[in-house]
Structure 1
Amino acid sequence: MKENQISTGRFIDGKEIFAVELTNSLGSKVKIYNYGAIVSEFIVQNAIGEQQDIVLGFDDIDGYLNEDYVSNDYPYLGVVVGRYSNRIKDGKYSIDGVDYEMAQSLHGGLIGFDKKVWDILPTVDPSLTLQYVSPDGEEGFPGKLTVQLTFKLSDANELILDYKAVTDAPTALNLTHHTYFNLNKNGENIADHYLRIPAGNYLAQDKDYVVTGALVPVTGTRHDFLGGKTIGQDWDAAEGYDQSFVLDKPYGELGLASETTETSSGLKLEVYTTEPVAHFYTAKYLNTATGKGGRAYGPYSAFCIETQHYPNSVNVPEFPTTILRPGQTYAQTTIFKVSHT
């Protein structure tokens, strides 16, 4: 694996934005910005010998900073999400009897980790390690939190994400990466992608997509991907999927979260994670007019597999905790592995 760091010439609050390219012996390339830890490109050779970019994004950093994009149903294209991914009921929770309140927004507040310029740390091997120090009280979260995210691109076409975090006061933490994938060689609707999710239960949600605490068996529902099926086979065409699945694997161990294949490219994407939940989203609200090459991105033009802890755990005592305390280290690994079918 090799790495190459390129200045974009853009600064935010005096901090320079860089693009870092990781390449491997197979000719694959991943481009990551230290702004939002954005995965902007993931280029692989498909089964018919073509170079194919399998993630949505923009041609350059300006697209991610464009005010129309940021303010128009902002879709979190390719970013890291934090401090807390998904939805917290009414933006309120308690830690050790102390009440906290944050903006009622998706994915960690109004200006989350996705809109920060992260520091690039030195590494020994060819990889990229980004660090962000979130001050006490940022977006309503207590404690000074230091987060590191390391990206590696293996010669087995695995994009490996290793997260670590420490805090100086108890805080709520649930990190994920919001990469949008499309394996079709022409970037067409993802309804025909074939998906398997090894999850016997999904998490019930209220009308605002907030997890309630109930586990629901997938058997006999449109959420049953245990044996694999096309994404569009059982979906509600007006809704798609925006659902959290509880993975059938030991808690905290690295295991399969999903497997997706696509016929035109002959590509297969496997996602492995140490996290207990995979949130599957088919981009219902995506509405971006000027993506790569001027391409418009609309609903169902991509899918996300957001590996994370149980959403809204801070308000559901029965769920595994998402409270990080001083002296503890938050750690998770997620791997996106690309191969041919």
Structure 2
Amino acid sequence: MRENQISTGKIIDGKEVFAVELTNTRGSKVKIYNYGAIISEFVITNAKGEKQDVILGFDDFDGYINEDYLANYPYLGVVVGRYSNRIKDGKFTIDGKEYQMTKNLHGGDTGFDKKVWDILPTIDPSLTLQYISKSGEENFPGTLTVQLTFKLSDEDELILDYKATTDEATAINLTHHTYFNLNKDGGSVGQHHHRMPASNYLEQDTDYVVTGKLIPVEGTIHDFLGGKLIGQNWDPAEGYDQSYILDKKYGEFGMASETTEHTSGLKLEVFTTEPVAHFYTSKYLDVANAKGGKDYHPFDAFCVETQHYPNSINIPEFPATVLLPGQTYHQTTVFKVSK
């Protein structure tokens, strides 16, 4: 694995934006920006011997800060924090004090996805990004120091390793919002075959906020235990936007999902230490002039967002998402592409 750092020529909030490329012995390549920790490319060789990029995004950095794109912002390829998914009414209480967030998705108006992260020196060819979120940012308590390390193995595994510490009790639930399509020509992911080792999913209210109730997948459209085409049972107007509880011990590293596409012969496996995978088939995706001049439409991608239980900050019986001083938040997620 090698790394290559290239300036985009852009300065945001006084910091320079770089693209960092990681490559391996197979000739695969991953491109990551230190703005938003965006995974912009994941290029591998498919079963036909063709180079194929399995990530949705833009050809250059300007696309990610374009006003039209931001007006209908889908979080393409970004890290999400301090708190992913949705918090009920944007409120939570820690140590008897209530905190009111912007009632918004994925960490507020200006989350970790719109920050320029510092590039830290590393010994091996990998990329470690750091962002220090000051106390009060987006109304979250505590100064939170986050480090996210990316590695590309010679087995085409993209490894994301997160660590965070705080000086005051705070809420944290990080994830990565990478959009995948394993068909070289793009289009709907309805014909991708998807499997998830998850016997239960989390009930959501009309605002997609998790209520605390677990529902068995058996007999529902959410049953991916044996694997099926994504579009086999979905509501074609809604797709999937659902959190699944993975069938593994809490904190254990294990499989979150396995997705295959027959024309490319590619398979994406996702492994994680996190207890939940949020499966999203991009209902709200609407992006013009993306990679290669393509437009992206609803259901043209899927996301497997590994995380803790959404809204668990407000549901005591769920695993805690409060980080205390002296503790280290740590999670690892791996995206492995094979054929």
Shorter-chain-normalised TM-score: which range? over 0.9
Secondary structure (helix, strand or coil) at the match of 1:64 reads helix
After TM superposition, give the deviation of residue 293 of structure 1 in Å: 1.0
Identity of aligned residues (%): 75
* Structure 2 partner of 1:35: 35
Tell me the TM-score normalised to structure 2 length: 1.00
* Structure 2 partner of 1:236: 235
Separation in 2, partners of 1:172, 1:45:
40
Separation in 1, partners of 2:122, 2:171:
28
* Structure 2 partner of 1:76: 75
* Structure 2 partner of 1:315: 314
Summarize the alignment of residues 250-329 of structure 1 with structure 2, pairs less than 5 Å apart: 250-329=249-328
Amino acid at match of 2:243: S
Summarize the alignment of residues 1-341 of structure 1 with structure 2, pairs less than 5 Å apart: 1-72=1-72, 74-340=73-339
After TM superposition, give the deviation of residue 88 of structure 1 in Å: 0.1
Amino acid at match of 1:227: G
Deviation string, structure 1 residues 266-313 (Cα, Å, up to 9, x no partner): 000000000000000000000101110110001000000000000000
Secondary structure (helix, strand or coil) at the match of 2:106 reads coil
Separation in 1, partners of 2:71, 2:163:
30
Separation in 2, partners of 1:294, 1:64:
14
Separation in 2, partners of 1:316, 1:14:
39
Deviation string, structure 1 residues 218-245 (Cα, Å, up to 9, x no partner): 0000000000000000000000000000
Name whichever of 62-71 and 81-90 sits farther off.
62-71
Separation in 2, partners of 1:14, 1:327:
31
After TM superposition, give the deviation of residue 120 of structure 1 in Å: 0.0
Amino acid at match of 2:86: R
Separation in 2, partners of 1:314, 1:52:
39
Runs of 4+ off more than 2 Å:
none
Separation in 1, partners of 2:253, 2:292:
36
Tell me how large the CA RMSD over aligned residues is: 0.4
Secondary structure (helix, strand or coil) at the match of 2:190 reads helix
Amino acid at match of 1:6: I
Separation in 1, partners of 2:265, 2:48:
7
Secondary structure (helix, strand or coil) at the match of 1:298 reads coil
Separation in 2, partners of 1:289, 1:185:
18
Amino acid at match of 1:243: Q
Deviation string, structure 1 residues 124-151 (Cα, Å, up to 9, x no partner): 0000000000000100100000000000
After TM superposition, give the deviation of residue 158 of structure 1 in Å: 0.2
After TM superposition, give the deviation of residue 160 of structure 1 in Å: 0.1
Separation in 2, partners of 1:235, 1:13:
42
Secondary structure (helix, strand or coil) at the match of 1:191 reads coil
Secondary structure (helix, strand or coil) at the match of 1:264 reads coil
After TM superposition, give the deviation of residue 338 of structure 1 in Å: 0.5
After TM superposition, give the deviation of residue 68 of structure 1 in Å: 1.1
Separation in 2, partners of 1:201, 1:96:
31
After TM superposition, give the deviation of residue 185 of structure 1 in Å: 1.4
Q: Which runs of 5+ in 1 are unaligned?
A: none
Separation in 1, partners of 2:275, 2:104:
23
Secondary structure (helix, strand or coil) at the match of 1:192 reads coil
Amino acid at match of 1:303: F
Separation in 1, partners of 2:122, 2:184:
34
Amino acid at match of 2:137: E
Secondary structure (helix, strand or coil) at the match of 2:299 reads coil
After TM superposition, give the deviation of residue 13 of structure 1 in Å: 1.4
Secondary structure (helix, strand or coil) at the match of 1:335 reads strand
Separation in 2, partners of 1:52, 1:68:
27
Separation in 2, partners of 1:188, 1:296:
10
